[in-house]
Amino acid sequence: MTYRSHPVRRLCESPTADATVTLIVGTDGETEEADLRDRLPEGDGLEPLPYDSFRVTVPESVVADVCAVAGVTRVETANVIGTGDSGEDV
């Protein structure tokens, strides 16, 4: 089962029309970037991150679909992850 942060759960239930959200998508470690790119319903700028994760911006209307993608183990908003004082992901 895919872990979904509280904000992601709310987005799945009540997406805002014409709005986008940046997500951190964690994978099972076996899913390659190309596979994930092919499986995502739509989105911009799939960016590899440490710990088998990727950052992607998608329409809020497809967040539930992202959570259901094979190989995805967790989905959080990028704001939940946050940045440190240096502006780098922590």
pLDDT band at 85 (very low <50, low <70, confident <90, very high): low
32-56 pLDDT, tens digit per residue, is 888 888 888 776 778 999 999 999 9
Cβ atoms < 10 Å from Cβ of 36: 21
Helix (H) or strand (E) holding 57: strand 53-59
**Nearest Cα to Cα of residue 72 among 18, 13, 32:** 32
All domains of the chain in start order, with CATH: 3-80 (3.30.70.80)
Which residues are CB-neighbours of 71 under 8 A, at least 6 positions away? 27, 28, 30, 31, 35, 36, 39
Give yes or no for residue 28 having a pLDDT over 90: yes
Asked if residues 19 and 59 have their Cβ atoms less than 8 Å apart, the reply is yes
- pTM here is 0.81
Task: Read off the pLDDT of each residue in 12-40 and give the average, rounded to a whole number.
Answer: 90
pLDDT band at 2 (very low <50, low <70, confident <90, very high): very high
